[in-house]
Amino acid sequence: MKAVLVEPRQRLVLAETADPAPGPGQAVVEAEAIGVGYFDVMNLRNGTTSVPGVEVVGRVRDGRRVLALVLSGGYAEQVVADADQLYSVPENLDPADVVALGVNAMVAEGAVHRAAVAPGERVLVRGASGGIGVLATQIAHARGAEVTAVTSSAEYGERLLALGAAKTIDRTRERPEETYDVIIDTAAGPQVREHLELLRPNGRYVLCGGTAGVPEPEAFGPLMRDFHKSPTLFAFSLTSVSPEERRKSWDRVLELVVAGQLAAVRDQTFPLAGAAAALQHVEHGKSFGKVVLLNG
């Protein structure tokens, strides 16, 4: 089979390699669509030498289409996945749309679920034009919240309004000034402090990404200063979630899709041989929604 291999200096090349051999409790998935995300960018920055990619949509040998979550190896024509990391996929959905949901949808749904977003609450989504943010905006809206989406351009703002945001903020021109019951933060970075200060009494802040970097320890000062308001901070990563809880989350995602309350948002698609260009596109932070690799 062909797979994207990491060569010295993080150069990516599509090359022939041995077909994967499944072990007990594993299955081989013939890839149709592969997700490209910031997690892959960070792995390359950290010097990984393994084949990138953690989410693949394709078919197992009995013909079923599945979403497969893996630790690595996704940028390939075939991938081995543990059986408990295979998630059912309706046949009527486009594989590229499914992987555009994939991990991002489970993170977005998990963040909104942990924050217990309720009808009528005001929710701020940071990084709303990214792969997680475009889905968190829709999911919070589906729960009846009034969503304010923070993005980087007026064009993206218009698209987010069409996805259910009640308001948008162009972060290149202004800062949020209102207060919120829930903040879903996919960016983190040095601005965490000023956003924590926007929480209402009993507010919930969910960190579920880090595209803007790691906050300094003093960024969390408002949690103690506003102790009397009972703020709650969640740091949410899908890696901490059990397979059973992930499956429940995926089922809730599909329910929203079937109900017409959640749609996949694809930015660009690339062939498998274009993995390097796809990663560069994600790293530049200009994508709206998910970047996808297509096999074949």
In order of 87, 157, 215, the CA distances from 81 in angstroms are 11, 37, 34
- pLDDT, residue 286, reads 81
d(C-alpha 273, C-alpha 20), whole Å: 19
Query: What CATH number is associated with residue 204?
Result: 3.40.50.720
Query: pLDDT-derived band of residue 10, with 50, 70 and 90 as boundaries?
Result: confident
- What mean pLDDT comes out for the span 237-259? 96
Residues 180 and 73 in one domain: no
Whether residue 100 lies inside any domain: the answer is: no
Residues 90 and 183 in one domain: no
Residue 42 has pLDDT above 90, yes or no: no
- pLDDT, residue 199, reads 98
**Structure-block tokens of residue 10:** 């993080």
Query: pLDDT-derived band of residue 124, with 50, 70 and 90 as boundaries?
Result: very high
- What mean pLDDT comes out for the span 271-279? 97
Pairing of strands 232-235, 199-207: parallel
Whether residue 255 lies inside any domain: the answer is: no
Biggest alpha carbon–alpha carbon distance for the chain: 60
Residues 110 and 227 in one domain: yes
% pLDDT > 90, the chain: 83
- pLDDT, residue 43, reads 85
**Across 38-42, 108-112, 127-131, 194-198, least confident range:** 38-42
Residues 64 and 165 in one domain: no
Positive/negative CA dihedral, 93, 98, 100, 104: positive
Residue 250 has pLDDT above 70, yes or no: yes
Query: Residue 114, CB half-sphere, CA atoms under 13 Å: how many?
Result: 24
Query: pLDDT-derived band of residue 217, with 50, 70 and 90 as boundaries?
Result: confident
Whether residue 249 lies inside any domain: the answer is: no
Query: pLDDT-derived band of residue 49, with 50, 70 and 90 as boundaries?
Result: low
Residues 84 and 126 in one domain: no
Residue 294 has pLDDT above 80, yes or no: yes
Residues 133 and 61 in one domain: no
Whether residue 254 lies inside any domain: the answer is: no
Q: What pTM does this model have?
A: 0.94
Give the range of the structural domain holding residue 204, as residue numbers without chain letter: 106-239
Whether residue 253 lies inside any domain: the answer is: no
Identify the CA nearest to 73 among candidates 173, 164, 5. Answer: 5
Number of domains comprising the chain: 2
Residues 79 and 150 in one domain: no
Query: What CATH number is associated with residue 11?
Result: 3.90.180.10
Residues 198 and 171 in one domain: yes
Q: At what angle do helices 38-45 and 275-283 cross, to 10 degrees?
A: 100
DSSP element (H, E) containing 36: strand 26-36
Residue 69 has pLDDT above 90, yes or no: yes
Whether residue 214 lies inside any domain: the answer is: yes
* pLDDT, tens digit, 9 for 90 and up, residues 142-163: 999 999 999 999 999 999 999 9
Residues 123 and 216 in one domain: yes
Residue 19 has pLDDT above 90, yes or no: yes
Whether residue 247 lies inside any domain: the answer is: no
- pLDDT, residue 213, reads 84
Residue 196 has pLDDT above 80, yes or no: yes
